[in-house]
Amino acid sequence: MAVFYNEGIKQFVLSTEKTSYIFYVSKTGYIVNLHYGKKLSEKGDYRHLWYSDPVFAPQHEGDVNSKYSLNEMPSEYPAYGSGDYHEAAFGVEFSDGCRLVDTVYESYEILKGTIEPENLPGLSGGDNTLVLTLVDKTTNLKIKLYYCIFEKEDIIARYTIVENTTNEPVIITRALSLNLDLPTSQYDMISFYGYHLEECQLERVRLHHGVQSTGSRRGASGHSHNPAMILASPETDERQGEAYGMALCYSGNFIARAEVDGYGRTRAQIGIHPDDFKWTLSPGESFTTPEAVMTYTDKGLNALSHNFHNVIRNKLGHTKRRDMHRPIVVNNWEATYFDFNEEKILEIIRSCNGLGIDTFVLDDGWFGSEKECRNNDDTSLGDWLVAEQKLPRGLTPLIEECEKQGMQFGLWLEPEMISETSELYRNHPDWAIKKAGRPFCRGRNQLILDITREDVYNYLEERLISLLSENRISYIKWDMNRNMSDAYSSSLPPEKQPEIFHRYILQFYRLLRSITEKFPDLIIEGCAGGGGRFDMGNLYFCPQIWTSDDSEAIERLRIQYGTSMIYPPLSMTAHISACPNHQTNRTTPFETRAAVAMSASFGYELNPLNLPENDREKIASQVKSYRENADLLEKGDFYRLESPFDKPYSAWMFVSEDLKKARVTFVQQLYRPRLRAVVKLQGLDEKARYEVTNEAGEKIGTFGGDELMFAGMSFEPKSDFEAIVYNLKKVRR
């Protein structure tokens, strides 16, 4: 049993294979966190583990002269207004304007299995759930804290349900998903910042006193910061040391923050950003927060990532899609941009003959209306009818040609958007998110559809269903190329305007759920100008996401490295594109582009016919190599070995679960004369011997697992951007 309750001392111990999460209910009914970290016996009494000596810290009635003050107490779900001056996780406004709330323990329940938060994405298939009910005794407002335990993965997923069991409407002013109070501040905060073309860059800084945070107020999780945070001991590296990780299963506005108080205690939180958020609950209604996923390890950052990778691969989203091999895709965006016609696309499809590619994806530019055709990013979003000017015979000839070549057909869509130059906008100017009569912003010349309106939602759902029912489409690239501004919905009453961001995301998920349920074999690749919505919420529906619009291999080293801290390689789409690269103008060897792209969900972003002859000839063998290694690359354990942020090169490896196979990739950034890099491998069987071959199948040698891990493997690149890939096969113990 993952939850152990000691009635006598009112102490709860939540156990995973290697961690414990412990709290107890104080005499005054407050829930005091005692330990989150390495596993402790569930039999112990840990109440001595917190200490406080409240001075200038308000105490409650009944607590005066005792040591209880909410300001001094490691809390489970601190509420605003009752004497805790740190950042609150929860706040409300009652109808008399009172903002005070004081939640105490009422009851608990232990459930078998785990429950996803209602109408929101979440993990499934866990072991047990503990539900704690708290109550604000003055008003009878109830809060339920959910702890979903995944023992094997060392994961606890948390969310909160607020139930308005009072007789008046209540306005929730903040409701974060996770609060974690830690007794010290000896941590570095690792977060992921970036921008369009440069997502998920790693930043690691020492915690300082006060609040440090990342977040988004963009209506999407965004390129700027990823909704995740790691607190790692200063000495923690990839191979050893303590680290806490938290990631939000949500695609909208978020905050991830750590507050270090004057005593050096840390409060870590993640959830919906409290700015731009209010939610009115009528009596009888409830509000569910997104799920936050947390983990702990004392074995370093690779181990922390494994916990996230395993749970994302095995417990997030629909089994069918997440467990299948990922199709190898050719996408025409960088091959043609908007400039194509039927003949050009047919030519690309035909050029895939015999290469072993699974799916051709037709990107932006295929749609329009009678009046206009999407020849640039100015028009047609929302119309979703095939543009006759470009494709006079519709999609059918393309689909048929794909099938003739043994491939399936995929299509780019940006469902949530509307262009002002479109039939849809001409008919429904009020369907866009903006306030009539006020100036408003465009982003990439487009507006966002107000899917919080039922009529807009219904139109969009119907349009997508028709498109997918009328055509044999196996794959969608679901894009989103701007963030929200002018956040106003013509359908919401004044008091519900601050709900628009979250309502939008709920409808986005509702749409994805509806489409994925109706078309269970459809694969949706997420995208938002690359990785502008790379989060667990989106991954629940879209098992892979276009990681960045920067397709260049050397830039991708850092982007994919940072992304891999939380998300498994197979959740990232990475394509080989043409050179000189369209984003950086850099030219890298075809093999290097393959080595980087094949370390994720693999494909091509080019017209094979435009490649130099000797590169084109390599495609079939690359496809073969990916397929042969698909189990290893998609299901194996991924280890970061050398960081492109720290070194002139980068290295990583995959190891199969049975330790029989591994694949090591080394990529030089700029060449350094006489450089010989010695890289210590990880995750192998130290008692076994491994035969090492290169991508051409030539034998390099046979080495002991111990030697490869403890002495290292040496790499001697000869030039800029060179990649060296080794395949390892266990030969004997």
Which CB sits closer to ligand GLA, 259 or 479? 479
Q: For residue 531, what are the contacts with CB-CB under 8 A and spacing of at least 6?
A: 194, 199, 200, 223, 545, 546, 547, 548, 559, 563
Q: Are 478 and 542 in contact (CB under 8 A)?
A: yes
Closest separation in Å from C-beta 402 to ligand GLA:
19
Closest separation in Å from C-beta 479 to ligand GLA:
5
Which CB sits closer to ligand GLA, 307 or 446? 446
E strands present in 387-451: 408-413, 417-419, 446-448
Binding mask 398-417 for ligand GLA (x = CB under 6 A): --------------x-----
Which CB sits closer to ligand GLA, 334 or 695? 334
Local structure of residue 241 (DSSP, 8 states): B
591 part of the interface to ligand GLA, by CB under 6 A: no
Which CB sits closer to ligand GLA, 239 or 582? 582
Closest separation in Å from C-beta 550 to ligand GLA:
10
Which CB sits closer to ligand GLA, 154 or 364? 364
Which CB sits closer to ligand GLA, 76 or 364? 364
Closest separation in Å from C-beta 641 to ligand GLA:
29
Closest separation in Å from C-beta 598 to ligand GLA:
19
653-692 residues in contact with ligand GLA (CB under 6 A) are: none
Closest separation in Å from C-beta 347 to ligand GLA:
20
Alpha carbon distances (Å) from 442 to 137, 195, 527, 677: 48, 18, 19, 49
Which CB sits closer to ligand GLA, 516 or 551? 551
Which CB sits closer to ligand GLA, 2 or 559? 559
Instruction: Report which of 242, 297, 250, 300 is spatially closest to residue 270, judged by C-alpha positions.
Output: 250
Which CB sits closer to ligand GLA, 377 or 486? 377
E strands present in 196-328: 198-206, 210-216, 228-232, 243-249, 254-260, 266-271, 279-281, 286-288, 291-297
340 part of the interface to ligand GLA, by CB under 6 A: no
Q: Are 523 and 543 in contact (CB under 8 A)?
A: yes
Instruction: Please report how many Cα atoms fall inside a 13 Å half-sphere around the Cα of residue 406, on the Cβ side.
Output: 9
Report the alpha-carbon distance of residue 472 to residue 645 in Å, rounded. 43
382 part of the interface to ligand GLA, by CB under 6 A: no
What is the residue-wise DSSP string for 348-391?
Answer: HHHHTTTT---EEEE-SSSEE-SS-B-SSTTB-TTT-EE-TTT-
Which CB sits closer to ligand GLA, 546 or 690? 546
Alpha carbon distances (Å) from 245 to 130, 294, 411: 20, 5, 35
Closest separation in Å from C-beta 469 to ligand GLA:
23
What is the residue-wise DSSP string for 26-80?
Answer: -TTS-EEEEEEEE---TTS--GGG-----SS----TTTTTSS--GGGS-BSS-BT
Which CB sits closer to ligand GLA, 412 or 690? 412
Residue 148 tokens, joined: 């979903």
Alpha carbon distances (Å) from 428 to 372, 444, 450, 462: 17, 20, 11, 16
Question: Which residue shows structure tokens 């055709």?
Answer: 373
450 part of the interface to ligand GLA, by CB under 6 A: no
Instruction: Report which of 365, 366, 369, 360 is spatially closest to residue 402, judged by C-alpha positions.
Output: 360
Closest separation in Å from C-beta 357 to ligand GLA:
18
Which CB sits closer to ligand GLA, 114 or 573? 573
Instruction: Report which of 69, 15, 55 is spatially closest to residue 37, judged by C-alpha positions.
Output: 15
Contact pick of 261, 401, 479, 695 for ligand GLA (by CB under 6 A) = 479
364 part of the interface to ligand GLA, by CB under 6 A: yes
Binding mask 279-318 for ligand GLA (x = CB under 6 A): ----------------------------------------
Q: How many helices (H) and strands (E) does the chain have?
A: 14, 40
Closest separation in Å from C-beta 366 to ligand GLA:
11
Exposure of 471 by Cβ count < 10 A (0-12 exposed, 13-18 middle, 19+ buried)? middle
Alpha carbon distance, N-terminus to C-terminus of the chain: 37
Alpha carbon distances (Å) from 643 to 202, 559, 639, 691: 10, 11, 11, 26
Tell me which amino acid residue 234 is.
P
Alpha carbon distances (Å) from 51 to 82, 102, 105, 179, 296: 19, 21, 20, 19, 23
Which CB sits closer to ligand GLA, 141 or 348? 348
Give 451-486 as a 3 state SS string.
CCCHHHHHHHHHHHHHHHHHCCCCEEEECCCCCCCC
Q: Is 398 helix (H, G, I), strand (E, B) or coil?
A: helix
Instruction: Please report how many Cα atoms fall inside a 13 Å half-sphere around the Cα of residue 448, on the Cβ side.
Output: 29
Q: Please, which residues bridge with residue 291 across strands?
A: 249
Tell me which amino acid residue 140 is.
N
Tell me which amino acid residue 268 is.
A
CA 705 vs. chain centroid, Å, equals 33
Q: Which stretch binds ligand GLA (CB under 6 A): 41-49, 257-265, 524-532, 690-698?
A: 524-532
Q: For residue 194, what are the contacts with CB-CB under 8 A and spacing of at least 6?
A: 200, 201, 223, 224, 225, 226, 531, 559, 562
363 part of the interface to ligand GLA, by CB under 6 A: yes
Q: Please, which residues bridge with residue 148 across strands?
A: 129, 157
Active-site residues, by number, are 479, 549
Q: Which stretch binds ligand GLA (CB under 6 A): 154-162, 283-291, 523-531, 720-728?
A: 523-531
Residue nearest to ligand GLA (CB): 364
Contact pick of 11, 351, 408, 481 for ligand GLA (by CB under 6 A) = 481
Closest separation in Å from C-beta 367 to ligand GLA:
12
Contact pick of 12, 159, 187, 333 for ligand GLA (by CB under 6 A) = 333
Instruction: Using CB under 6 A, count the residues that bind ligand GLA.
Output: 11
Closest separation in Å from C-beta 377 to ligand GLA:
6
526-555 residues in contact with ligand GLA (CB under 6 A) are: 527, 529-530, 546, 549
Closest separation in Å from C-beta 530 to ligand GLA:
5
Closest separation in Å from C-beta 370 to ligand GLA:
22
Binding mask 157-196 for ligand GLA (x = CB under 6 A): ----------------------------------------
Residue 124 tokens, joined: 């499934």
Q: Which stretch binds ligand GLA (CB under 6 A): 168-176, 222-230, 460-468, 522-530?
A: 522-530
Residue ranges binding ligand GLA (CB under 6 A): 333, 363-364, 412, 479, 481, 527, 529-530, 546, 549
